[in-house]
Amino acid sequence: MDAVIGQKKEQGQKFLENGKRIPVTYIDVAGSRVISVRTPDKDGVFAVRVSFGKRKRANKAIMGSVKASGQDFAPLAIREIRLADDSSTPNVGDFIKPTEILKPGDIVAVSGVSKGKGFAGVVKRHGFHGGPKTHGQSDRHRAPGSIGQGTTPGRVLRGKRMAGRMGADNVTVRNLEVVDVSDDQVLIKGLVPGAKKTLIVIRKIGENKKFVPLYSEATGENTEVSTGSSSVSDDAQTVQDETSNSDSSSLSESQSTEEIENPTESEGSTLDSSENGQAPVASQADLEVPTEEIKEGESSDAEAMDDKEDAK
């Protein structure tokens, strides 16, 4: 098989690996099932009839067409897909896997029913330029003009482009590109015929040798994960630094407490060290002078002064 059927969902945009932004159409292809197989001996052609979707109500004719496949509900639509030969003919009741038929980079032709526009004039429907806007032409701006000749042929030729119902026709857009495929969804580059929920047929017609795949978001996820790990390591480093700072501060506090409790030992160890480059200073005990010696010195000085006055 070289075709799958699906339902148009919505339009969006994606980015390619080279940074280019492209429009894409999301197509739901889940639930396609083969309900019958046509052969040249019986039907004169190689083809398979495929069902898609599920409808709320159905008559006996529709239920009878899917009875052979073992399907117990009425399909939303049934389409026939032609095959080149019977080498790849699926069996009745098999589900169609889009990943086995399409792949990113395939060139496809998409067929569907276009949007209905209602009754439209020739300017909108066929792109006519209309009549002149001056020289007395006040009501011929969007008119079609002449639609035929005189006596010969004396009638309007079949297929003449005129005003009428516009849209709601079977339209095929070729040379579209498949950018992503999964078991339940196909992404096609560009726009496809029809409104939302339109049933379309995607047929493979070639491959693009210069295909550029979509940008993978996994790279961004890996970057985010690495960034998160680095931030976690930074947080751990910060916690470690704070712990070391708190340990050093607690150690200094404990040392200061010991110095306060033993001031003599700490002062002696600091003042007697020759590494500081300063002369040793006497301790407080050395600076203290006995009270008796001071009194004896004062009395001797007073006696000396009295002797000098007597001599005079």
* % pLDDT > 90, the chain: 43
Domain assignment of residue 296, yes or no: no
- Assess whether 67 and 93 both reside in one domain: yes
Q: What is the pLDDT of residue 9?
A: 94
- Assess whether 134 and 254 both reside in one domain: no
- Assess whether 205 and 236 both reside in one domain: no
- Read off the pTM: 0.64
Domain assignment of residue 292, yes or no: no
3-state SS assignment for residue 6 = strand
26-27-30-35 Cα dihedral, nearest 10 degrees: 180
**Encoded amino acid at 158, one letter:** R
| Overall domain count for the chain | 3
- Assess whether 131 and 226 both reside in one domain: no
Q: What is the pLDDT of residue 272?
A: 47
CA distance 272 to 268: 6
Q: What is the pLDDT of residue 231?
A: 44
- Assess whether 193 and 263 both reside in one domain: no
Domain assignment of residue 289, yes or no: no
CA 58 to chain CA mean position, Å: 40
Average pLDDT over residues 180-201: 94
Which of 70-79, 106-115, 212-221 comes out lowest in average pLDDT?
Answer: 212-221
3-state SS assignment for residue 284 = helix
Q: What is the pLDDT of residue 273?
A: 44
Average pLDDT over residues 66-90: 82
Q: What is the pLDDT of residue 267?
A: 45
**pLDDT tens, 230-283?**
444 455 455 456 555 555 555 555 555 554 455 444 444 444 444 444 555 555
Q: What is the pLDDT of residue 310?
A: 67
- Assess whether 43 and 91 both reside in one domain: yes
**pLDDT tens, 202-226?**
999 999 999 999 998 665 544 443 4
Domain assignment of residue 302, yes or no: no
* DSSP summary character for residue 146: -
Q: Give residue 230's domain range.
A: 216-274
3-state SS assignment for residue 142 = coil
* Contact between 198 and 27 (Cβ < 8 Å): no
Which of 28-32, 167-171, 227-231, 300-304 comes out lowest in average pLDDT?
Answer: 227-231
What is the number of other CB atoms lying within 10 angstroms of the CB of residue 180? 17
First-to-final CA distance of the chain: 148
Q: What is the pLDDT of residue 128?
A: 96
- Assess whether 108 and 124 both reside in one domain: no
Domain assignment of residue 91, yes or no: yes
CA distance 162 to 144: 7
- Assess whether 24 and 139 both reside in one domain: no
Q: What is the pLDDT of residue 253?
A: 54
Domain assignment of residue 308, yes or no: no
Residue 38: CATH number of its domain:
2.40.30.10
Model confidence at 229, pLDDT cuts 50, 70, 90, reads very low
More confident residue, 78 or 267: 78
- Assess whether 138 and 226 both reside in one domain: no
Average pLDDT over residues 149-167: 94
Q: Is the pLDDT of residue 130 over 50?
A: yes
- Assess whether 108 and 36 both reside in one domain: yes
- Assess whether 260 and 198 both reside in one domain: no
Q: What is the pLDDT of residue 189?
A: 96
Domain assignment of residue 261, yes or no: yes
Model confidence at 302, pLDDT cuts 50, 70, 90, reads low
Domain assignment of residue 293, yes or no: no
- Assess whether 85 and 69 both reside in one domain: yes
Place of tokens 């980079």: 105
Q: What is the pLDDT of residue 59?
A: 85
